[in-house]
Structure 1
Amino acid sequence: VGPGAEEGEARRGCPGGVSPVGSSRREVPGAEGRPRAAAGRPVDEEVSSDSEPESPSLGRRRREAAEEEVDETPQEKKLRLAKLYLEQLRQYGESRPALGAGAPAGRPPLLPQLEQKGRLQRLVAKDVQPPDPTSIRVLRGHQLPVTCLVISPDDRFIFSASKDGSLIKWEVESGKRLCVVPGGKKGTEERHMGHASHVLCMAISSDGKYLATGDRNKLIMIWDTVTCKRLHIFTGHRDAVSGLSFRKGTHQLYSASHDRCVKVWNVAENAYVETLFGHQDVVTGLDSLSRECCVTAGGRDGTVRLWKIPEESQLVFYGHQGSIDCIQLINEEHMVSGADDGSVALWGLTKKKPLALARQAHGMQDAQGLQQPYWISAVAALRNSDLLATGSHSASVKLWKCGEGFRKLEPLWDIPLVGFVNSLKFSAAGDFLVAGIGQEHRLGRWWRVKEAKNSICIIPLKQRAAAPSSEAPDSS
């Protein structure tokens, strides 16, 4: 399908190349009953006619403050806010721990705003030491290739799934299997409470309450993360479910499928919300953060798409030459993707072409007498930082540094791992990286690495002690 394939579907008059999402939206239950605040006044504020009048001195101070604000030029206001932000950063930097020591108790008021705008960047990549291969822990439990994994928000547990249909909960500290849900035969999902086909994707809610898994049998299963008991099954996709992501801070779930569509669900209510259409080939990956939108990789249609749910619109991005197999958001404004043409791309959500593109990121392989690039089968980003990881079947995982403004990809270290790297995840604190390894690719059996072990690998990440990590606003 050529790059202009979906242009014919775009609604006439849509500005900026935004094509409509062909779906109707449902109203959120209970929204009509919510009180609306008057402009500039909180909903719960009560105004009484018996309120005491303010004192003359208080009124004078307020008038003086208002006069000072009026006299302030735009340039002076920018300078004042910049000084305020730098002072907050200085105080925050003195109180925050080193990489891997967990998050500090408090954050400066401006930091959440910058994070929401995608402007907060933790500069940690330059201080990451080359991982020691002997420190890598290997956890065995799945009989067939590991296809996907997630880490609990508190970094204490890992959930993984496999082509054998099994689901395992691991304890990070001890490496023990805390819970195993075995795979079953097709048609036995109701009886044995597990998957009966390849599990291709999973996601965990940001509060750690729900786990979602998707399989080749078109099913999405919702689990209790504490007990590993299945809570619900979502049906509706017409082909394999290949991507899942919870919207941060909510129980809204996005799912992607080989049926070329994206669906939205409300897990807390066990409810279907809507379906989004646009991709011209199977959707192979999906991710989201706190905004009401998600990004998807469109396989061989050659596009990455940003779906804006409330606006019922989508933005289309072009850059890879092959099938785009994996994608992850770095922050609210930037993302990374990988394709079977061997390239890794950095994107800004305001530009339709990559900000940076690393071709042949994992080198070349000899395939049936032909030189081909190693496929990129997994990407990961340490959220709101400049540190990335990519996986292939090139016998290594690579760590990367994002250059200033996300306009450059600089290779850092190679971590030896034999087999297909089908999933990669950084811990929230950034002190370890987890890789899901298999003898085969997550989505097929084009090659088989016989010497590989179907396993979970925990890779410790250490930072140079002499240079504590810093946070800075992104200049892009």
Structure 2
Amino acid sequence: MPDSFFQKSRKRAASSSSSSSSSKQSRPRRDDKARGGPKRPPPQRSARAYNDDDDDDDDGSDGSDFFEGGNDDTRHRYEHDVSSDEERDAAETPAEARVRLAKAYIDGLKNDELDADDADAAASDAANIAARLQKDVSEHSGKQHIFIASRLKPPPKDGSRSLLLRGGHRASLTAAVASGNGKWVYTAAKDGNVFRWRMEDGRIDVLLPRGGAPSKLVANGKKVADAEMQDSDADEDEEKAPPASAVNGTHSNGQVDGDEAASDAEMSSAKSKSSGASRRKARRRGAALQSHPAPPRSKSTSEQQQQPRSRLHAIAEVGQDEGHRGEIWSLALSSDGKRLATGGQEKHIGIWTIGGDDPSPSSSSSTPSWTRALTGHKDSISGLRFRHGSYELYTSSLDRQIKLFAVDQLSYIETLFGHQESILSLDVLRQQVAVTAGGRDRTVRWWKVRDESQLVFRGGARSKLRDLIEGGDLSEEQVKKARGDRGGAVIEGSVECVAMIDDSHFLSGGDSGAISLWSLGKKKPIFTRAVTHGFQPATSEHAPLTPRWITSLACLPYGDAFASGSWDGSIRLWQLDRQLRNFKPLFSVNAPGFVNSLQLLQPPKSAGQCVKPELYRFRVKGQKEKDSEGEKQAVSGDGDEEAAPAPSLGRKESVPPILIAALGSEPRMGRWMKDKSVQSAGLIVPLTFA
């Protein structure tokens, strides 16, 4: 009989060997670690109590199933669904939240676009949503996103939609700007006055007159007394005054009231004792009235009620040291229409406050009032622009400086330097960037105000004559051909005007008649079209042909249409390529005189019909059937132009723009040319879609 001592020891050895074998089986193999662990988790088995005193090894249970599976499993199940929304929001990452919000935004667009009655709603849903998303991205990034040029319809040849604002100014118009709500148009001229017109019917609403005379003025190095200066101003005003029929009113039979004319003669003779010329005019007028008296005619009450009160407009109050005494060259209106900036021959900038939050034609509280003069420039003011959506005013001057003002606080911000010649034009959009034309230094500068830096773009095309000037050797025939005597290239000696398309593209025009398209990515123009407004008629047979330079440019902000003006009797509209690689002519609008300023306004859709042509009194004369040079180019066209895609259903593409221009008999900042046959007026052309 074996000893019990040896049996117990043999039993302990068996139990220890079984436990060691179970621990070896529970360890993962090296092959599993190399492969990244087992492919699937081990099968779940029910938990069993582990008893050290259990000597029954027949069932093969070694107790290792407690560690491999059971109720105490701590592994995370990713396929497990979260029960509540709060737990889901807490569990998702920021990237997952952005994806979820984007999907919700697209679902909302689908619900807005989907129409149960429309059979093609499902087919056009994806295209509309993609177009709207792309437009939102382009609008926030400051890129071109309004495409309406392909749908613009030329105005009729008879001039029925070319409306004129005439009857206020006595000198050549220099600037015209319309409010963003499409209710008002402000015009300025060389007489120092500013008029506000109703865009609906073209009537004068308010006059912003010239400022009062200072205590002492200097003329030819001598001090002039107040009385002498007032007499000279009265004589000048009398020479420029309209006839008595325009002041006192002309009846239907063309006769003037004798009593009113006689009283005018007496008043003029009483006020003009210090001037011999004015006294002689008064005597001649009185003698003419005595030799040809007009029979008096009284108006009935019904006729007085039916008579239009077009000349009874409000006049803003301007103090003696307020307003402008010289010519006004530029106007700027804030986006909300509450601030008006004026500048010109003088060195200061006038700030006017428009009364009321939303002035209406019937409201008397909308009369502008003088606020303050902003000083700092050392020469005349050539350009004014408000940044869209703010009260930041950008100003350019002939002193080669650009200044920034905060109009809401009437304070100065900073000055930008860089141009080597007088600055002639300025343009600003929504971002804190500006583009300026340097005139005779032949540069266009792109200003980054926040970074305090600038990009310089050299204007002027390279030609044989330029090579000769810079150091070359050409024959006389080559020089004549380069000068343009026989149709050669034309040199651009001055950059006159600029216009911004978006935050990275702009246009420029110069004295060579060429319009250039620029981009921030290149130092040279992307595309240039030469002699866009033709040549000036030669004075003699051997005189060289001189191109008409570009006097003004205006682009639809962030759009594909722009307008250019000169003095060839027309305003030309152009279409930009969608990729901004080139542009082509669309049509022209009859505009006699010098086009001193341009604006393409797109009123809000809620404004309705801003212009009613049937209420206007003056229109441009009908244009002849003979096509102009620009229209011939448009008809011939560029054969390689791709077809315009179908217009989208965006909000801004559904409103046609309005063309506003200032037509004068002289250039904006000079008098070296004058067309006496042209009467200055503001031009309004409401464009339509085909």
- TM-score normalised to structure 2 length: 0.53
Q: Work out the CA distance in 2 between the residues paired with 1:158 and 1:130.
A: 23
Between Structure 1 and Structure 2, which shows a larger proportion of helix residues? 2
* Offset at residue 404 of structure 1 (A): 2.5
Equivalent residue letter for 2:180: P
Equivalent residue letter for 1:434: I
Q: Work out the CA distance in 2 between the residues paired with 1:178 and 1:453.
A: 21
Equivalent residue letter for 1:265: F
Secondary structure (helix, strand or coil) at the match of 1:126 reads: helix
* Offset at residue 341 of structure 1 (A): 1.1
Secondary structure (helix, strand or coil) at the match of 2:373 reads: strand
In structure 2, do the counterparts of structure 1 residues 388 and 68 end up closer, same or farther at CA, with 3 Å as the change threshold?
closer
Partner of 2:258 in structure 1? Answer: none
Structure 2 unmatched ranges of 5 or more: 1-81, 119-130, 216-317, 355-365, 461-491, 604-655
Deviation string for 1:110-130 (max 9, x for gaps)? Answer: 645422423342211111111
Correspondence 1:372 to 2:598: no
Partner of 1:355 in structure 2? Answer: 526
Equivalent residue letter for 2:383: G
- TM-score normalised to structure 1 length: 0.75
Deviation string for 1:84-107 (max 9, x for gaps)? Answer: 69x78x959x9xxxxxxxxxxxx9
Partner of 2:341 in structure 1? Answer: 212
Partner of 1:162 in structure 2? Answer: 189
* Offset at residue 370 of structure 1 (A): 2.6
Between Structure 1 and Structure 2, which shows a larger proportion of strand residues? 1
* Offset at residue 216 of structure 1 (A): 0.9
Q: Work out the CA distance in 2 between the residues paired with 1:184 and 1:62.
A: 66
Partner of 1:229 in structure 2? Answer: 369
Equivalent residue letter for 2:511: D
Secondary structure (helix, strand or coil) at the match of 1:161 reads: strand
Correspondence 1:139 to 2:310: no
* Offset at residue 108 of structure 1 (A): 5.8
Q: Work out the CA distance in 2 between the residues paired with 1:146 and 1:185.
A: 21
Q: Work out the CA distance in 1 between the residues paired with 2:513 and 2:345.
A: 25
Deviation string for 1:205-251 (max 9, x for gaps)? Answer: 11111010111111100011332211110111011100111111111
Partner of 2:198 in structure 1? Answer: 171
* Offset at residue 326 of structure 1 (A): 1.5
* Offset at residue 60 of structure 1 (A): 5.4
Identical amino acids, percent of aligned pairs: 36
Correspondence 1:407 to 2:431: no
What root-mean-square deviation, in Å, do the aligned CA atoms of Structure 1 and Structure 2 show? 3.0
Question: What are the within-5 Å matches in structure 2 for residues 363-442 of structure 1?
Answer: 363-368=534-539, 369-429=543-603, 430-442=656-668
Deviation string for 1:410-469 (max 9, x for gaps)? Answer: 0110111110000111122343201100011102122112211110011120101xxxxx
Structure 1 unmatched ranges of 5 or more: 1-54, 95-106, 465-476
Secondary structure (helix, strand or coil) at the match of 2:160 reads: helix
Q: Work out the CA distance in 2 between the residues paired with 1:375 and 1:344.
A: 10
Partner of 1:443 in structure 2? Answer: 669
* Offset at residue 186 of structure 1 (A): 6.7
Question: What are the within-5 Å matches in structure 2 for residues 57-72 of structure 1?
Answer: 57-58=84-85, 61-62=88-89, 66=93, 69=96
Q: Work out the CA distance in 1 between the residues paired with 2:565 and 2:346.
A: 26
Deviation string for 1:147-197 (max 9, x for gaps)? Answer: 112110101111110111110111100101111123357748851732111
In structure 2, do the counterparts of structure 1 residues 67 and 289 end up closer, same or farther at CA, with 3 Å as the change threshold?
closer
Deviation string for 1:299-336 (max 9, x for gaps)? Answer: 11111111111211111112332311212212222222
In structure 2, do the counterparts of structure 1 residues 112 and 191 end up closer, same or farther at CA, with 3 Å as the change threshold?
farther
8 A contact 1:166–1:194 mirrored in 2: no
Partner of 2:281 in structure 1? Answer: none
8 A contact 1:418–1:451 mirrored in 2: no
Correspondence 1:271 to 2:411: yes
Correspondence 1:126 to 2:150: yes
8 A contact 2:190–2:328 mirrored in 1: yes
8 A contact 2:212–2:322 mirrored in 1: no
Mark the structure with the bigger radius of gyration.
Answer: 2
8 A contact 1:356–1:406 mirrored in 2: no
1:198 is aligned, of 314, 320, 327, to: 327
Q: Work out the CA distance in 2 between the residues paired with 1:380 and 1:432.
A: 12
Equivalent residue letter for 1:388: F
In structure 2, do the counterparts of structure 1 residues 394 and 91 end up closer, same or farther at CA, with 3 Å as the change threshold?
farther
In structure 2, do the counterparts of structure 1 residues 370 and 190 end up closer, same or farther at CA, with 3 Å as the change threshold?
farther
8 A contact 1:210–1:224 mirrored in 2: yes
Partner of 1:334 in structure 2? Answer: 505
Question: What are the within-5 Å matches in structure 2 for residues 90-129 of structure 1?
Answer: 91=113, 111-129=135-153
Equivalent residues, number:
389
Equivalent residue letter for 1:422: N
2:380 is aligned, of 231, 240, 246, to: 240
Secondary structure (helix, strand or coil) at the match of 2:689 reads: coil
In structure 2, do the counterparts of structure 1 residues 346 and 62 end up closer, same or farther at CA, with 3 Å as the change threshold?
same
